[in-house]
Amino acid sequence: MIAVAGNIVAFTGAGISTESGIPDFRSPGGIWTKYKPIEFGDFLASAEARRESWRRKFATHETLQSATPNAGHRALARLVEQGKMTAIVTQNVDGLHQASGVPDDRVIELHGNTTYAACLNCRRRYELDWVREIFAVDERLPVCTSCNGHIKTATISFGQSMPEAAMERARAATLAAELFIVLGSSLVVYPAAGFPITAKRNGSRLVIVNREPTEQDGLADLAIHAEIGATMSRAVGVN
Ligand SMILES: [Zn+2]
């Protein structure tokens, strides 16, 4: 299917990143089942919620910072390089697709990116090391040096609306796909989980690679329940 498809689109979820040692925060025992997520409204309204959000961020920072792309990321990067894969739509916020060499404009991040921060008001970008230096002094909260706005990791929080531009780009990419490959997503979170259905209805072939069965396996032309790295590196011919 990869060989005959002119335009391949990937849709990636937590499963591709767990193979790089990044815990799936939503899985049983994951951090989001131990702590109540901080709603976006609370982040805006409460300085204590903002402090708690930075505390949690820096508690998991090292794990994320030391994670590197795995064979699954590298296989997708190769397909992008070959011009066969036009877009990677991802639910992940770890930036590992970009770290594997995929250009920024080929990665569509539905839930944002946690490897940097941004002003909620003017969107100016800030690096986490800068935030950490400020926060290290009595948990002082960072504010935007241009507009005084709140600074938050560049992720989409619970209660925050989906990023319109990313959703629109993901829809367009999905409709252009001839082969749509889902990698490491259990396909339960909507609206993101609607993309494979849209692709299939639009005439694309659909492949799902996930360790566990998904609700959409029945819709797929091929469903593989195995490791992503091992599966994709064999399919694409990279290590
Ligand atoms: Zn600002």
Q: Pick from 68, 67, 89: which is nearest to 80 by CA?
A: 89
DSSP string across 99-165: HTT--GGGEEETTEEEEEEEETTT--EE-HHHHHHHHTTTTPPPB-TTT--BEEEEEPPTTSPP-HH
Q: What are the average pLDDT values for consecutive 10-residue runs of the chain, which has 239 residues? A: 96 95 69 76 96 92 90 98 97 96 97 95 96 96 97 93 92 98 92 92 98 95 98 92
Q: Do 187 and 196 touch, CB atoms closer than 8 A?
A: yes
Single pTM value for the model? 0.92
Q: What's the 167 CA to ligand 1 centre distance in angstroms?
A: 24
- Per-residue CA distances from 19 to 8, 73, 109, 205, 231 (Å): 22, 10, 19, 25, 12
Annotated catalytic residues are: 111
Using one digit for the tens of pLDDT, what is the confidence trace for 36-54? 889 999 999 999 999 999 9
Q: What's the 133 CA to ligand 1 centre distance in angstroms?
A: 19
- Per-residue CA distances from 85 to 106, 186, 194 (Å): 9, 22, 20
Q: What's the 116 CA to ligand 1 centre distance in angstroms?
A: 14
Using one digit for the tens of pLDDT, what is the confidence trace for 68-114? 999 999 999 999 999 999 999 999 999 999 999 999 999 999 999 99
The one-letter code for the residue type at 20 is S
Q: What's the 152 CA to ligand 1 centre distance in angstroms?
A: 11
* Cα 203 from Cα 206, distance rounded (Å): 9
